[in-house]
Structure 1
Amino acid sequence: MKHILKNKMMIVLISALIFTNCFANENSNRNSEESVGFLTNIRQLKELSDIMDVINQNYVGDKKIDRTVLMQGALKGMVDSLEDPHSNYFTKEQLENFQEDIKGKYVGVGMVVQKRVNEPLVVVSPIEDSPGYKAGMKPKDKIIAIDGKSTYNLTSEEAVEKLKGKENTKVKVTVVREGLKEPKEIEITRAVVELKYVKNKMLDEKSKIGYLRLTQFGENVYPDVVKGLEELQKKGMKALVFDLRSNPGGALDQAIKISSMFLKSGKVVSVKSKDGEEQISNREGKYYGDFPLVILINEGSASASEIVAGAIKDNKRGLLIGEKTFGKGSVQTLVNLPDGDGIKLTIAKYYTPSGVCIHGIGIEPDVKVEDKEDYMLFDGMVTNIDEKESKENKKEIIKEVIGEKKAEEFEKHKDIQLDTAVGILKGMLLERK
């Protein structure tokens, strides 16, 4: 049921990898190795060229032959042959979209949307202060056309692509809204939309238990995590729940910095490349105190989330509560190609401070609390949305996806993982008195 539900809803700009900024420097070894590499591969390159010629001279079909497309297909096939789900070939456009994921910024209208087959595009929630938000778009708005083109037969990716574009350009959406007799046309001026991945609140004013949630390790999310934690500490926070459930990961350096916030000393992670060379990362930066700490994890906690969870567990800094994590223990880098395309390639594996590679295994929680209904699913990956309107809209989406009866059960669902964390932290605080 979890996977079925996840496929029903598209949330723009989601990334699921450990990403390192050690971009390949194409020029550094070019003079010394390029001729050797070319001569070594010349037979295979000739075969590739011959196949392209055969296709160009003989293929008969509806699709027009494009040498660029043929080459892109060959490169994609080469990377796909690695049978590594985390290594990918990107066209120029795909690479740009991928980099937007990492940066948490893109040019568009700023809306979380849902698309089902043969139905219009539905607005789940506008992102606060985005062009769509300012233009008056509302949750549950049905976008039946984008610039006059019907959305019924578009895929979710195609619809999102049409909403994106260059900054300061305009897009017209035709909207069907409850309470309006006729479809309404709304013009939106595209702008840079910045996604936020951090939110915080005080869960229990009496016990002063704070809640900090990180939904993705964006390229520069560390300052937002610092800000969220410092806001809680100013309010008198005495214990913390750090929620990494359904966090698919992101930038490696951000995972190291965020782990370090909670560690007074010790190792955070080590990375081993193909030649066996090990790079150890110890804690760095400001330490934020020895308050009782619980990390919430589940099967959707992957990659950078697992680095943080592993560092906290192995250094005995806090407790992990929830379910076993995903088990992604590999590191990728981006290789930028001359024509603007790129390759995301697995170049190393990482190890927790105790020397364990969790790839394909995951990290077990200290306190196992299963949530078979997947309570976090409809909480989304973007936090800068109108939570009140979003909550009401989520009810309607859940009804559409799993039916009214199941939706009613879902509405009564309690977050047992969070409740368990709060109960344990209250006990820890009593012991400290």
Structure 2
Amino acid sequence: MKNEKTSVFVRPVLTALLTLCFAFCILSLPSAFAQSAKSSKGSQAEKEVHSRQYIELLNSVYTFVLENYVDEVDPKILYEGALKGMMDAFEDPYTAYLGTAQMRDLNDTTTGDFGGVGLSITKPAETSADKPAYVEVVSPIEDTPGWRAGIQAGDLILSIDGTSTADITMEEVLKILRGPKGTSVNLIIRRGKTGEFPVSLIRAIIEVPTVKYGMINRGKQKTGYLRIIEFTPKTPDRVQEALDSFKKADFTSLIIDLRNNPGGLISSVADVADKFIDTGVIVSTKSRLMFENSVYRAKPKATVMPKNIPIVVLINKGSASASEILAGALKDYHLAYLVGERTYGKGSVQQVVPLPNQDGIKLTMARYYTPSDSNIDKIGIPPDREIALPVLTEAEEKAYASLITDEAISKYVASNPNMSASEIASYAHTLQSAYNLELRLLRRLIKLEVNRTKPAELYDLDFDVQLQAALDIAASSNFETMVKSAKTLKELQASMSDEQKVSAADGQAGKSGKKGR
């Protein structure tokens, strides 16, 4: 009992001594440190002094924790925790610490030698009981397992192989999604408010095509259809190939499809835009760092698009970053009419900085601005003509979930391969009597299953109401008047009330986190 009493007495004394020791270390820092709590205004020399003092304070805390925590501490844990906390302090979804595994994933994405499911995803930084941080699909990549399974932009991935995505980090999500080619991964998808269904995907090597194109002929209307999937170093050349092909086909209108395009290189999109814009600013980047301030200007010699060809640009909530730069530039110069839905709203530029430990940081270094000097971050670009894809009612969401869970389509197609258009239409009517879903959607789902092992169709006029509207607008006799009278982004933002801006930002909120495939 005597020893027990002694230990009880010694513990608070030891705590007090350690506290005093730590406090002494802090107080031993230069007295000028107190000035750093004041306004950040001051000379550069003063700011540098304050910066050094914070570094000394961090070093003191690091050393104290390393030497005095109840258990022996791996210095790497403290290092990674400090970097994560530093990057998270900005509350910027695009600024983040990238661990060794994430840097490896980033390199794999660049080289294309990884097995994945073909989904560009994002994840909120914070989770709560009221709003779990489930993974959200930004866009499916064409001709990949995720795309062929019918997963759509805006779908939530509730779990992966039985693990809730709300309870794990993005790094862990990517680790589970990726794996050897030919292996399977099981997802639970939520579409809308209540529609939940399982999806089993077979991993494949993900190679992202940059451009797909072809002609759409409707009577005398000859429309060049240009789908830009992502902006890579090869994209400008592929776009040029498409435009050359359209010219040979005597095209009378052009549709540029940027839906579900997650972005890419700013230099690439500037080169693409230069083919349509003959003079002026294409995009500018602004930062407090002089070397990050850039202006990309159009060069008359690079312009190849004929002046008299109507251009319609298709956009949706999966159109982000570089795709917003192209849409914004063509809109600001009154060169194209935008159709679809409001874009994602990513108006910032990041740099990935490798660190010596094979990890790294991703840091927002600048913001980009359209030709009318507008930044669309967290607001997005609204279409000139809003055409939304049909949204399922709650009853239809449940019917859709049942349809997928029952495997009604996959089992029927397995027994009836190579179905013709008339057979697809007939089976859609059969399904409708059991599941009460729109025939157009049912035909779409059956076609996706029939063509699961074939290259993706360039377009689907039967299902795609946005493309149908774009074709009608491009053929309109007053197209030029519509384009010229459309407001620039600067004019649109100036006319928005504060309430509308907040509403737009709220609508884009939650799209945070690292993207993966």
The two structures have a TM-score, normalised by structure 2, of: 0.53
* Residues 1:47 and 2:61 aligned together: yes
2:391 to 354, 373, 382: 373
Tell me: CA distance 1:79–1:237, structure 2 relative to 1, closer, same or farther (3 Å): same
Q: What is the correspondence of 1:245-264 to structure 2 with a 5 Å cutoff?
A: 245-264=259-278
1:280 to 295, 301, 319: 295
2:463 to 398, 401, 414: 414
Q: Which residue of 1 aligns with 2:310?
A: 292
2:357 to 339, 343, 351: 339
**C-alpha distance in 1, partners of 2:180/2:94?**
27
Tell me: CA distance 1:52–1:240, structure 2 relative to 1, closer, same or farther (3 Å): farther
Tell me: CA distance 1:37–1:338, structure 2 relative to 1, closer, same or farther (3 Å): farther
Tell me: CA distance 1:278–1:70, structure 2 relative to 1, closer, same or farther (3 Å): closer
Counterpart residue identity of residue 179, structure 2: K
Q: Which residue of 2 aligns with 1:198?
A: 211
Counterpart residue identity of residue 287, structure 1: V
| SS state at 1:217 partner | coil
Counterpart residue identity of residue 282, structure 1: R
Q: Which residue of 1 aligns with 2:179?
A: 162
**C-alpha distance in 2, partners of 1:323/1:200?**
22
Counterpart residue identity of residue 382, structure 2: E
* Residues 1:59 and 2:71 aligned together: yes
* Residues 1:308 and 2:326 aligned together: yes
Deviation at 1:54, TM superposition (A): 3.4
Tell me: CA distance 1:59–1:224, structure 2 relative to 1, closer, same or farther (3 Å): farther
Q: Assess if the C-alpha contact under 8 Å between 1:325 and 1:362 holds in 2.
A: yes
How big is each residue's C-alpha offset from its partner over 1:312-332, in whole Å with a ceiling of 9 and x where there is no partner? 011111111112222221111
Deviation at 1:197, TM superposition (A): 2.9
| SS state at 2:294 partner | strand
CA RMSD of aligned residues (A): 4.3
| SS state at 1:42 partner | helix
Q: Assess if the C-alpha contact under 8 Å between 1:266 and 1:315 holds in 2.
A: no
Deviation at 1:353, TM superposition (A): 0.6
**C-alpha distance in 2, partners of 1:152/1:369?**
36
Q: Which residue of 1 aligns with 2:79?
A: 71
Counterpart residue identity of residue 425, structure 1: A
Q: Assess if the C-alpha contact under 8 Å between 2:116 and 2:177 holds in 1.
A: no
* Residues 1:349 and 2:349 aligned together: no
Larger of the two Rg values belongs to structure: 2
| SS state at 2:254 partner | strand
| Identical columns (%) | 33
The two structures have a TM-score, normalised by structure 1, of: 0.63
Greater relative contact order, per chain length (Cα 8 Å cut-off, separation 6+): 1
Tell me: CA distance 1:227–1:50, structure 2 relative to 1, closer, same or farther (3 Å): farther
2:238 to 224, 227, 231: 224
Q: What is the correspondence of 1:115-264 to structure 2 with a 5 Å cutoff?
A: 157-163=174-180, 194-204=207-217, 206=219, 207-264=221-278
Instruction: Name whichever structure is richer in helix by fraction.
Output: 2
Tell me: CA distance 1:94–1:36, structure 2 relative to 1, closer, same or farther (3 Å): same
Q: Assess if the C-alpha contact under 8 Å between 2:117 and 2:178 holds in 1.
A: no
| SS state at 1:357 partner | coil
Counterpart residue identity of residue 203, structure 1: I
Question: Any stretches of 5+ residues in structure 1 without a counterpart?
Answer: 1-33, 115-124, 133-137, 141-149, 165-170, 175-187, 375-387, 393-402
Q: Assess if the C-alpha contact under 8 Å between 1:333 and 1:347 holds in 2.
A: yes
| SS state at 2:473 partner | helix
Deviation at 1:287, TM superposition (A): 2.6
Tell me: CA distance 1:408–1:66, structure 2 relative to 1, closer, same or farther (3 Å): farther
Counterpart residue identity of residue 420, structure 1: A
Q: Assess if the C-alpha contact under 8 Å between 2:255 and 2:311 holds in 1.
A: yes
**C-alpha distance in 2, partners of 1:318/1:76?**
42
Tell me: CA distance 1:335–1:226, structure 2 relative to 1, closer, same or farther (3 Å): same
Tell me: CA distance 1:415–1:68, structure 2 relative to 1, closer, same or farther (3 Å): same
Counterpart residue identity of residue 335, structure 2: R
**C-alpha distance in 1, partners of 2:118/2:346?**
27
**C-alpha distance in 2, partners of 1:322/1:158?**
34
Tell me: CA distance 1:216–1:100, structure 2 relative to 1, closer, same or farther (3 Å): farther
Q: Which residue of 2 aligns with 1:427?
A: 476
Q: Assess if the C-alpha contact under 8 Å between 2:117 and 2:204 holds in 1.
A: no
Deviation at 1:89, TM superposition (A): 1.0
Question: Any stretches of 5+ residues in structure 2 without a counterpart?
Answer: 1-47, 121-139, 151-159, 166-172, 186-201, 393-417, 424-433, 444-461, 482-517
Tell me: CA distance 1:113–1:320, structure 2 relative to 1, closer, same or farther (3 Å): closer
Counterpart residue identity of residue 107, structure 1: D
How big is each residue's C-alpha offset from its partner over 1:134-185, in whole Å with a ceiling of 9 and x where there is no partner? xxxx989xxxxxxxxx967798634443317xxxxxx8789xxxxxxxxxxx
Deviation at 1:191, TM superposition (A): 10
Counterpart residue identity of residue 114, structure 2: G
